[in-house]
């Protein structure tokens, strides 16, 4: 048996316990990572005292990570950072539907996608706080242009989705590898998070791409399973994540406006990394994560499954005052909430305000359409 046979997913899977210590040491010896962390933590000081600040940050981080030599220990460190982020950037964080889940089951959580890092992080937080295992997280290789970013993500139980594959054969091979890894994870008792579509729903429309459902079936199909049985084995749970305020809403509104007015939008080199940082550090207001019930009925096609996921996500989506006001400026909401929304709207360039409002209004409109059948 070859090494590849023993570890067929080595190139895309999260790091294992025995790899953690070496990766942590590699990060501590990566000047670019330390410098980026120093600039993020101490932006003004780093401009004038870069080398000194870098040394202090490295030493502090080494102290925090001393003894971290397995995945669980790394998760405990991340928990501390997560609690600080919640305290600083959210007004309230709430969860519903966790009572539908069993702690001894592995699930495939399929959620709407608004934020690159925080969507799976909030799902994980709800599970962790309720004594359930955290998830393995699907993340596109377009976000991993820096080796240290890849190391950080894979330390946090992320696995790589190969979106950069070129040509039909390479793409099909990448899809099969992804499908097989997700199948393998569920079969071995490890829950997984994946978005309902490729890329964030920048316009606020949360609709599942049937192509994702087809990808999930590829591995099961190879094993000669019918689609209906394959879906039941995957143990799919739709999740609706709603932010009162999206820290990246101004960036998204600008992109949507440019695409609408010019027909295209060119991302800057590290725009995705900027979005990750802004999503983590920016103000979110109230955040609600709604876990749907596991989908255990018979589905005959990927399109039918995608529709069921849409109904669960849209139906369970928690509407905030920001959504209600965007859909109806005259709606009755708390005065402070109205003021907060108005202040945020006024910071948006005039030409982008319509797109800004629509991204918050669309969940209201979609929920109304669902109610009308």
**182 located within any domain:** yes
CB-neighbour burial class of residue 315 (10 A; exposed 0-12, middle 13-18, buried 19+):
middle
Indicate if 215 and 294 belong to the same structural domain.
yes
CA distances to 325, 329, 332 from 335, rounded to whole Å, are 11, 13, 9
Indicate which CATH number applies to the domain containing 173: 3.40.1130
User: For the chain, how are helix, strand and coil distributed in percent, rounded to 5?
Assistant: 60, 10, 30
Domain assignment present for residue 4? The answer is: no
Question: How many structural domains comprise the chain?
Answer: 2
Provide the pLDDT confidence category of residue 43 given band limits of 50, 70 and 90: confident
Same domain assignment for residues 200 and 335: yes
Q: Same domain for 27 and 79?
A: no
Please report the pLDDT score of residue 2 as a whole number: 41
Whether residue 23 has pLDDT greater than 60 = yes
State whether 141 and 41 are in the same domain: no
Q: 3-class SS at 136?
A: strand
pTM of structure: 0.93
**Residue indicated by tokens 């995705």:** 272
Would the pLDDT of 347 be above 50?
yes
Per-residue confidence (pLDDT) for residue 5, from 0 to 100? 67
Tell me what pLDDT residue 81 has.
87
The answer to whether residue 7 is domain-embedded is no
* 181's tokens: 């890894």
pLDDT band at 1 (very low <50, low <70, confident <90, very high): very low
Q: What are the phi and psi torsion angles at 294 (to 5°)?
A: -55, 140
- pLDDT tens sequence across 209-224: 999 999 999 999 999 9
Q: Which domain holds residue 277?
A: 70-371
255-284 as b/e: b if 16+ CB within 10 A: bbbbeeeeeeeeeeeeebbebbebbbebeb
Question: Angle between the 43-65 and 31-41 helix axes, to the nearest 10 degrees?
Answer: 120
Same domain flag for 56 and 94:
no
What local confidence, expressed as pLDDT, does residue 200 receive?
A: 93
Residue 2 lies in a domain: no
Q: How large is the average pLDDT for residues 138-155?
A: 89
Model pLDDT for residues 243-278, shown as the tens digit of each residue: 999 999 999 999 999 999 998 898 887 788 889 889
Question: Percent of the chain scored above 70 by pLDDT?
Answer: 99
Decide if 74 contacts 20 (C-beta within 8 A): yes
Write the pLDDT tens digit of every residue in 166-212. Answer: 999 999 999 999 999 999 999 999 999 999 999 999 999 999 999 99
Q: Does residue 350 share a domain with residue 207?
A: yes
CA–CA gap between residue 54 and residue 33 (Å, rounded): 10
Position 255 in a domain: yes
Give the pLDDT confidence score for residue 366 in this predicted structure: 97
315 pLDDT above the threshold of 80: yes
Residue 373 pLDDT > 90: no
User: Percentage of residues in the chain with pLDDT exceeding 90?
Assistant: 82
């Amino acid at each position: 048996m070859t090494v590849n046979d023993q570890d067929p997913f080595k190139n895309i899977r999260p790091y294992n316990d025995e790899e953690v210590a070496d990766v942590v040491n590699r990060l501590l010896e990566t000047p670019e990572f330390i410098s980026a962390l120093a600039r993020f933590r101490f932006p003004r000081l780093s401009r004038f005292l870069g080398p000194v600040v870098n040394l202090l940050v490295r030493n502090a981080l080494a102290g925090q990570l001393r003894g971290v030599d397995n995945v669980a220990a790394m998760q405990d460190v991340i928990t501390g950072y997560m609690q600080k982020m919640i305290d600083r950037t959210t007004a309230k964080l709430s969860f519903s539907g966790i009572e539908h889940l069993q702690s001894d089951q592995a699930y495939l959580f399929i959620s709407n996608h608004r934020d690159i890092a925080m969507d799976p992080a909030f799902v994980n937080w709800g599970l962790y706080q309720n004594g359930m295992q955290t998830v393995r997280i699907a993340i596109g290789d377009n976000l991993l242009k820096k080796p240290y970013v890849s190391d950080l993500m894979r330390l946090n139980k992320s696995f790589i989705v190969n979106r950069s594959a070129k040509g039909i054969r390479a793409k099909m091979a990448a899809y099969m590898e992804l499908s097989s890894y997700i199948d393998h994870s569920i079969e071995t008792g490890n829950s997984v998070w994946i978005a309902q579509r490729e890329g964030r729903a920048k316009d606020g429309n949360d609709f599942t791409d049937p192509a994702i459902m087809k990808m999930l079936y590829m591995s099961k199909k190879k094993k000669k399973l019918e689609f209906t049985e394959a879906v039941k084995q995957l143990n799919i749970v739709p999740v609706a994540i709603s932010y009162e305020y999206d820290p990246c809403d101004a960036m998204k509104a600008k992109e949507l406006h440019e695409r609408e007015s010019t027909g295209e939008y060119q991302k800057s080199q590290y725009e995705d990394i900027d979005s990750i940082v802004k999503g983590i550090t920016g103000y979110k207001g109230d955040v609600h994560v709604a876990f749907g019930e596991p989908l255990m009925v018979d589905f005959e096609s990927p399109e039918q499954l995608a529709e069921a996921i849409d109904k669960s996500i849209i139906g369970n989506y928690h509407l905030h005052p920001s959504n209600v006001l965007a859909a109806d400026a005259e709606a009755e909401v708390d005065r402070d909430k109205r003021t907060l929304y108005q202040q945020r709207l006024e910071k948006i360039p005039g030409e982008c305000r319509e797109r800004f409002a629509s991204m918050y209004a669309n969940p209201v409109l979609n929920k109304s359409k669902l109610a009308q059948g």
